[in-house]
């Protein structure tokens, strides 16, 4: 019931902020005793905690009160799929999901429902963050907790805008509790300035860590600094990207698991490599509601039914090009992909599917996943630092940090093998290609690939290699604004080419 209360608070606060649209009005009429408004909320410390938890709710939970039916949370089953499909790493196998087919073939338009879902859930999260940022400072409560909660809200708002500006370019920049009903677009520079301000404030307010068992899924100082490193990397501000990545490294709060397989075990959630993750499944002190992830349903093949695995659909799978990037003895290949079915009548091979989110000893039946979604982990920081240092001309440092990630890829479960040798003597341009490939192999289906291809200008050259006949255009360096938003708001103009 606690999880439902958080979702209820989130929905009702949004209703009071945005006005009573059809779904909100219907919901309130069904149970007027549940009415919560800004004026009678935000009174106590527990209200402040619940309000920030409600922001987190939109990262993983299905919005059961959405107009037209359920809408998946930001990291539930749309955002990371769109980023994977619109790249060289993922293909769609979900019958009837034309929205995903279009993204995979770069034929998507402004009418694509996934665009509307991603846009809507990001702005719902932002709306709740705006209210919390405005109201929590006025509550009489523990000052340190108050500052931390505002810092968490600012981190989440900054993260949401970072996703939006990278995907859509110029977007409405709504930073107040009460915003114009028909906002204008803000410039890309203005959005990035707001993101940096939010993440800087968050880094100053958030703790390095939480008491064991109490902070899974909550933002930390390291998470804010890691996201700042990624923001500056995207802006090609190599010096600042290096500075913020090094802050995370020097904090000594994080390290790589020795074995790549340990990254995705349920026992590793909130472990030493996790910088910021969205929790799914059982709570165990995390920011969790009632949702489980769809990783296993979507990614595990139907053929696993002969092994007793239920409800695996194989809706999305990797391109063969992605699979073929891995050396045979790369530990990440074995951990990431499933290629063999243990049929009682005789084992047989299948095309590769992604299994890394499946902790089979703990989740023997497959189904939905209790694993966290890794928004950013320590390997990402190491590779960002290596990339920034290469651009700054510090070749030796760059090689050291990319090789730290490659060393882990050599670990075969007991010892380090000779596969995945260290890089040495690469030119700046060769290193750029090497780190982009390393990120491809390290972060399979973690919601990074389109962003990496877009920021490096590689969409048009690398996607056709993996998807013959599919040729992205210049327009595909941004996604289209949802047509419904453009139709409702005359101040919004559609992105070029859509």
- Give the start-to-end residue ranges of the domains of the chain: 295-369
pLDDT for 424-455, tens place per residue? 999 999 999 999 999 999 999 999 999 999 99
What's the pLDDT band for 292 if we cut at 50, 70, 90?
A: confident
> Are the C-beta atoms of residues 288 and 373 closer than 8 Å to each other?
no
State what percent of residues in the chain have pLDDT above 70.
88
**Which band of pLDDT confidence, cut at 50, 70 and 90, is reported for residue 286?**
low
pLDDT at 60: 86
Dihedral (C-alpha) 206, 211, 217, 218: value to the nearest 10 degrees?
-20
* Residue 211: band (very low, low, confident or very high) from pLDDT cuts 50, 70, 90: confident
Give pLDDT, residue 369: 86
Residue listed under structure tokens 């045979």: 328
The answer to whether residues 90 and 81 touch, using CB atoms and an 8 Å cutoff, is yes
Predicted local distance difference test score (pLDDT) of residue 30:
35
In the predicted model, is pLDDT for residue 27 greater than 70? no
| 214 pLDDT higher than 90 | no
Is pLDDT of 361 > 50?
Answer: yes
Stretch (H or E) spanning 353: strand 348-354
Q: Can you tell me the mean pLDDT for 307-333? A: 95
Q: Span 238-249, mean pLDDT?
A: 98
Q: Give 185-229 as a 3 state SS string.
A: CCCHHHHHHHHHHHHHHHHHHCCCCCCCCCCCCCCCHHHHHHHHH
What mean pLDDT value characterizes the chain?
90
Per-residue pLDDT band for 21 (boundaries 50, 70, 90) equals very low
Which one has a higher pLDDT value, 128 or 21?
128
CB of 131 closer than 8 Å to CB of 38: yes
- The pTM score is 0.92
pLDDT value, residue 37: 59
């Amino acid at each position: 019931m606690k999880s439902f209360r958080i979702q209820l608070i989130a929905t009702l606060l949004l209703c009071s902020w945005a006005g009573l649209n059809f779904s909100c009005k219907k919901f309130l009429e069904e149970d007027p005793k549940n009415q919560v408004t800004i004026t009678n909320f935000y009174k106590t410390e527990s209200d402040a905690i619940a309000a920030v938890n409600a922001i987190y709710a939109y990262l993983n939970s299905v919005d059961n009160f959405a107009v037209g039916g359920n809408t998946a949370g930001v990291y539930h089953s749309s955002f990371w799929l769109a980023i994977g499909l619109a790249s060289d790493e993922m293909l769609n196998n979900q019958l009837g999901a034309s929205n995903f087919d279009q993204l995979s073939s770069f034929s998507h338009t402004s009418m694509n429902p996934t665009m509307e879902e991603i846009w809507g859930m990001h702005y719902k999260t932002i709306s709740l963050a705006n209210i919390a940022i405005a109201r929590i400072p006025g509550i009489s409560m523990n000052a340190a907790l108050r500052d931390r909660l505002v810092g968490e809200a600012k981190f989440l708002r900054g993260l949401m805008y970072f996703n939006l500006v990278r995907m859509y370019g110029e977007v409405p920049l709504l930073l107040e509790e009460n915003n114009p009903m028909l906002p204008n677009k803000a410039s890309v520079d203005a959005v990035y300035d707001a993101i940096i301000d939010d993440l800087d404030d968050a880094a100053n307010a958030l703790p390095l860590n939480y008491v064991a068992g109490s902070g899974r899924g909550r933002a930390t100082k390291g998470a804010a600094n890691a996201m700042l490193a990624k923001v500056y990397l995207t802006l090609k501000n190599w010096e600042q990207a290096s500075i913020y990545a090094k802050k995370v490294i020097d904090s000594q709060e994080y390290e790589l698991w020795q074995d790549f397989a340990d990254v995705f075990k349920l026992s590793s959630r909130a472990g030493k490599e996790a910088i910021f993750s969205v929790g799914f499944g059982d709570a165990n002190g995390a920011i969790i509601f009632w949702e489980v992830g769809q990783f296993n349903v979507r990614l595990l093949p139907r053929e696993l039914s002969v092994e007793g695995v239920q409800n695996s659909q194989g809706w999305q799978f990797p391109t063969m090009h992605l699979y073929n990037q891995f050396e045979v003895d790369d530990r990440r290949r074995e951990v990431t992909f499933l290629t063999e079915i243990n049929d009682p009548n005789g084992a047989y091979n299948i095309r590769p599917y992604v299994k890394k989110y499946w902790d089979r000893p703990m989740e023997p039946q497959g189904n939905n996943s209790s694993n966290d979604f890794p928004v950013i982990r320590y390997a990402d920081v190491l590779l960002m630092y290596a990339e920034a240092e290469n651009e700054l001309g510090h070749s030796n440092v760059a090689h050291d940090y990319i090789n730290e990630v490659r060393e882990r890829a050599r670990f075969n479960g007991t010892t380090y093998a000779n596969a995945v040798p260290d890089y040495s003597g690469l030119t700046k341009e060769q290193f750029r290609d090497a780190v982009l490939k390393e990120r491809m192999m390290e972060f399979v289906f973690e919601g990074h690939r389109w962003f990496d291809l877009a920021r490096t200008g590689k969409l048009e050259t690398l996607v056709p290699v993996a998807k013959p006949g599919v040729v992205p255009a210049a327009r595909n360096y941004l996604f289209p604004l949802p047509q419904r938003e453009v139709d409702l708001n005359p101040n919004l103009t559609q992105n070029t080419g859509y």
